[in-house]
Every structure is written in C-alpha cells, then in structure tokens.
Structure 1
Amino acid sequence: MSGPILVVNPNSNAAVTEGLDRALAPFRLPGVPDIHCLTLEEGPFGIESQVDSDAVVMPLVRLVGDRRDAAAIVIACYSDPGVEACRSVARCPVWGIQEAGVLTALSRGDRFGVVAIAPVSIARHRRFMRRMGVLDRLAGERALGVSVDESARGDSTFALVEEVGQALKSDGSDVIVLGCAGMVCHRAPLEAALGIPVIDPVQAAVAMAWGTVRCSFPAFGGSG
C-alpha cells in the first residue's frame, strides 16, 4: 500500500491541526509519502483529562477502520488514546506520539523531562511510561498549567514553556519532550534557549512512520 501518512488530531481544535501541518513541512518532498493532517471533529476541544482521552477512542477506531487507503497513521495526542485499539483494526502501522517521543528522547540523552500542559495530565502520562518501562530514565515532568489551546499560542506562552523547561533541566533532564501536540511551535525556540535537545513527539512519530513507509514500498524509493 502506498497511500498517505495520516496524522490525526483527536481534539476538535482546527488551529492545533493547522500547527501540526506547518510543523510537518520538512517531511513534504517530491516523490515521498503524502502527509495528511486530519481533525477528529467528534473530539473535545482539548484532551486534558482521562475522560477526554477515553472519549475519543471509539471515534478514532472508526476513523482508522474506514481509512483503508492509509500507508501509516499517527495519533497526535500525547496520551496516545486508543492506540492499541486502532492497531487492532488498522491495515497499516499506527504510531502514538507519546511512545514515539519518549523513544526518540531515549536515543538522544540519558534522562528526559516532559513539559505537560496541566497537572491532571501527569498521572496519565506516568501510567503510560510505567507500561513502557522507562520511569527510571524520567528526570521529571512539570506542568504549564494551561489549556491545550493556550499551549499552542507561541507568543503568549513561550515564556512559561521556557521557565518549565529550565526547571526540568535543573531536575537533571538532558533532553526534553513536549507533552502535547499543540506545543509543536515551541520546539525550535526552546531547544535554542535551553541548549539541549527538545523533541516534538508529532515530528518524532511522523519520522518513524515516514521511514517505515519509505523503506517498505518501491513506489517511494524502497527496496520492496
């Protein structure tokens, strides 16, 4: 299958989807897989609680089951809602951005820190990292105390993102993961400010999907 890579924003905030689309521009080159960013219109305006995360699982499963043309799918929410369920119905590989972001961080440093949007998010993230078996590499996770929508506003929130990033660096983090898809606009300026790698998990997941598709299908230059 040589269809597009689908990047699904499970919240209904189209501004977040637009930010994802801009952040993935470096992956759009001639002769490589198309990347389509979609908004899950049934989703909440921001996924900030366990209830929000659980509520999007079945809509995601329906969407993934319907998109049989996709070569790969990325669920662009940091708590990786419904990833296992989506993998069970998909005809293509499915990535969650928390898993991809953490795995990428582990390849760039010894201990990583996570910038969360809200305190209520942290327990949910830790449960996932416990299942991954990586808590011994976690230097810390700190929250901005803002909504998903607010986290995506570069001018008004970057100072707060930098403050939290500096605190995580003081905690012992030598690489930072942005713990929300809406924070993609902060990656490059935060990396410049902190002087350590900063991982945008959406870019990390798409890089994995892009490489897999590129190497798997002759139409995209792979060996078959």
Structure 2
Amino acid sequence: MNATARAGGPIVVINPNSNAAVTAGLDAALEPFRLGGGPAIECLTLAEGPFGVESQLDTDSVVLPLVRLVESRPDAAAFVLACYSDPGLDACRSIARVPVYGIQESGVLTALTRGDRIGVVAIAAASVVRHRRTMRRMGVLERLAAERPLGLSVDESARAEGTFARLTEVARQLIADGAEAIVLGCAGMARHRAPLERAVGVPVIDPTQAAVAMALGGVLAARLQT
C-alpha cells in the first residue's frame, strides 16, 4: 500500500485487554477527535488479551497478539496501543509501516508540556515499577514528582462507583507531592479526565487522548505531503 492510501486510512486504537467495557470507554472519550474530513478512529479489543493488563506477565503476554493484529491492518494510517505499560510498542514499531504510539509515552510527553513536574495515577502498586522503567528509558524520570496507586483493578477503574472519589484523593496527594499536571496511568480511566481536572484544578492528561492527538496530527501532516 502506498503512502497516499495509508494517509487516508483509519487511526486504529487497540485495547490490549479483553474487557469490552474499557474499549467502550475509550471509544466515547475519543469521539471529539472524530473530525469532519479527518481520519476515522477505530477502537478494537484484543480478544486474546487478559481481562486486565495488571502484571509484567500480562504485559509480556500480549506482545505477539498485538504484532499479529498490527500486521493484519495494512490499511491503518497509525496505531495507538491503549495500555499504559506500552506493551509491545517496540515490537509493533519494528514491523509497522506507519507510526505506532504508546499511551504512556504520549501521555507523559503531553503532561511535560503542561507542568515542570508531573504526577501519575497508577492502578496498583505493582504497575509503578513498570511505569518507572519506561520513564527512565525516556530520560524524564527526574521530572516525576510522584506516582501513586489507586489500589483498584483495571475493570474497577472503568466501572466502580467509588473510582472518582479515589482518583480525586490520589490526585490531590500528587499535587501535594509537587505535581503540576496529572497523568491517568490506565486507559480505563478515560471518562474521569474532565471532571477530575475540574475537581483538582490542574491539567489532567488522558494518555489515550494524548496519543490519538499525536496520531491525528501526524496523519493530517502526511496528507499535506502527498
């Protein structure tokens, strides 16, 4: 497929877990990015994935299924891997002919444009270690004020009634730690971004929206070049 055809293809957003409720939340959060005349945005669920990507084993287990899914979509103009651990990012980039965006990388980079020091809301304590590795690789760990866990599962973060109250509590703790912008460290938190920002008074970044914004800019720029 030539570059012109790919630039006219969709942005494919892949939820690496098999929880359709998370995918539905992503789809709703991305509705404002579906612009008239712009690329389509498709949200897919990785059927082979675990119900929630919550451990290193879960993260590693989805790499090959993600690669196969990326290979199966030569029509895509860009891919977004919608899991905050960025599973399979390097592997997918190695075989894709179009840009592949990880939401942790995109979310952190976006937050750094909104504050000198940032805070990250993680799902669980075990996630923090994985996230710090990525930030160390990016060379931005010194700008992390803190990362604090909610103590919830991915599914609970997307649907539980008490999630917003817990998010607000943790975000305020991060602000006390010195964070000037907050990153939601899980794709399942997407629907809470706007109300949380209003509640705590600092920029709150949904990483999937951040990644799709980058993908959208790249696709539109590619169209200008063809």
| Alpha-carbon displacement from aligned partner over 1:176-222 (angstroms, at most 9, x marks no partner) | 000000000110111001100000000000000001001111xxxx3
Equivalent residue runs for 1:163-182 within 5 Å: 163-182=169-188
Does residue 27 in structure 1 map to residue 33 in structure 2?
A: yes
Distance 2:73 2:58 in 1: 23
Match of 2:113 in 1: 107
Q: 1:190 aligns with which of 178, 183, 196?
A: 196
Match of 1:78 in 2: 84
Does residue 145 in structure 1 map to residue 183 in structure 2?
A: no
Distance 2:152 2:158 in 1: 10
| Alpha-carbon displacement from aligned partner over 1:122-161 (angstroms, at most 9, x marks no partner) | 0000011100011100000000000000001263310000
Q: Is the 8 A contact 1:154 1:186 kept in 2?
A: no
Letter in 2 for 1:58: L
SS at match of 1:155: coil
Equivalent residue runs for 1:1-224 within 5 Å: 1=6, 2-153=8-159, 155-217=161-223, 222-224=224-226
Q: CA RMSD in A?
A: 0.8
Q: Is the 8 A contact 1:175 1:199 kept in 2?
A: yes
- Structure 2: any 5+ residue segments left out of the alignment? 1-5
Distance 2:100 2:116 in 1: 27
Letter in 2 for 1:169: I
SS at match of 1:45: coil
TM-score with structure 2 length normalisation?
0.96
How many residues are aligned here? 220
Letter in 2 for 1:170: A
Distance 2:95 2:69 in 1: 10
Distance 1:152 1:169 in 2: 23
TM-score with structure 1 length normalisation?
0.97
Identity %: 69
Q: Which stretches of structure 1, 4 residues or longer, exceed 4 Å deviation after superposition?
A: none
Distance 2:56 2:135 in 1: 15
